[in-house]
Amino acid sequence: MATPLTLDALRRHAIARSLFRPLALPAAVRRLGFVQADPMRAPARAQDLILFQRVRDYRAGDLERRYERLGLEEDAFVNYGFVPRGMLALLHPRTPRQAWDADTTQRARAVLDFVRERGLAHPREVGQAFAHHGRVAGYWGGDLNASTRLLDHMHYHGWLRVRRREGGTRLYEAMEHAAQDDSPAARRARAEALVDAIVNLYAPLPASSLGYLVTLLRYGAPQLAAEARAVAQAARTRYGHAVVDGTTWFWPADENPASRRHQPDGTGLRLLAPFDPVVWDRRRFEMLWGWAYRFEAYLPAPRRTMGHYALPLLWGEQVLGWANLRLERGRLVRELGFVSGRAPRDAAFKRALDEELARFEAFLSGYGRAVGGPQE
């Protein structure tokens, strides 16, 4: 008789399958399938923090510096981020939930002609050429000028792609997506591949989290929303699953969370991004680690309990607390918090923490390197 699956086994599997042995940058992104992006640097951008834990000798900014040579695309999936180029055929042609009006379509076509003529366009050049007036609310506070927002929408609609960035600013080129087989079977197959990518990235997943993530596909593939829901509803026939403590969990069918073959070694210490796949699902986090992690960057300072950009602190198989890191005069300053109220007292923890902070200092040195660094 098989031993019943436990939360301890699910926790170990969640760590081991996501925090795999470091790979080369292209291979790590392919293994993940999606790397969430965020513009906030505290102390590094989310995409850099995520890849730092999975890429050999990774330095902050390497993804941006090497982007054109990696076969990746910036695009929408369940959130905005980076995907292997092959995933575009699953996401496009995208049918946005809200169509453009005639005036916006006309302006977009004029901008597309301009970008095609130039080959590569900076938002500033588009703004100067078309003098689009007005300012609109940006995604992360502040505002963006109207031409920049139009470029953003054209990218989402699949008319443009991001060829590279300069100083964090997207530079665009024209893009065309091949027509897709729109038969029910082909649409179902694309939806299955997208839900598979979700499960691959975030498993083991409680059923409620799988359902929530599939609803987020309305962002990346709104034209496949109905098919994706159907895949989620049939998850028991497609994915490995078990009921643990009253909750149904899902994972890729070829994996076995109860196996001891690929388990974490129990000795490492990692400081993880708030959007790292290990901690992204706050519902799963609380189930696996028994406390509620909160991302508080957008809360007023007096309401924060963990800090501006708390990085969950993984020690072995447990997330014991969090760290806020910042650079002051080139030195890394840390502020630690622990669920129990105090740090472990053993020498192994202190040594592992010092090693992780030293790794962070080397990692953050990448922000001092010029974009367009050494070739592969």
Integer-rounded Cα radius of gyration of the chain:
22
Q: Does residue 143 fall inside a structural domain? A: yes
Q: Does residue 39 fall inside a structural domain? A: no
Q: Does residue 337 fall inside a structural domain? A: yes
Query: Do residues 251 and 241 lie in contact, with contact meaning Cβ atoms separated by under 8 Å?
Result: yes
Number of separate domains in the chain? 3
- Of 174, 202, 218, at which residue does a domain stop? 174
Three-state DSSP at 336 gives strand
Same domain for 235 and 157:
no
Give the predicted TM-score (pTM) of the model: 0.92
Residue 200 clears pLDDT 70, i.e. is over it: yes
Give the span between the Cα atoms of 48 and 53, in whole angstroms: 9
Q: Quick one: pLDDT at residue 335?
A: 95
Same domain for 225 and 135:
no
Same domain for 169 and 202:
no
Query: Do residues 150 and 160 lie in contact, with contact meaning Cβ atoms separated by under 8 Å?
Result: no
Q: Does residue 274 fall inside a structural domain? A: yes
Q: How confident is the model at residue 96 (pLDDT cuts 50, 70, 90)?
A: confident
Q: Does residue 286 fall inside a structural domain? A: yes
Same domain for 110 and 148:
yes
Same domain for 205 and 135:
no
Q: Does residue 32 fall inside a structural domain? A: no
Q: Does residue 260 fall inside a structural domain? A: no
Residue 26 clears pLDDT 60, i.e. is over it: yes
Query: Do residues 349 and 343 lie in contact, with contact meaning Cβ atoms separated by under 8 Å?
Result: yes
Q: Which range of residues forms the domain containing residue 301?
A: 269-368
pLDDT digits (tens, 9 = 90+) for 45-92: 999 999 999 999 999 999 999 999 999 999 999 999 999 999 999 999
Q: Quick one: pLDDT at residue 366?
A: 79
Residue 163 clears pLDDT 70, i.e. is over it: yes
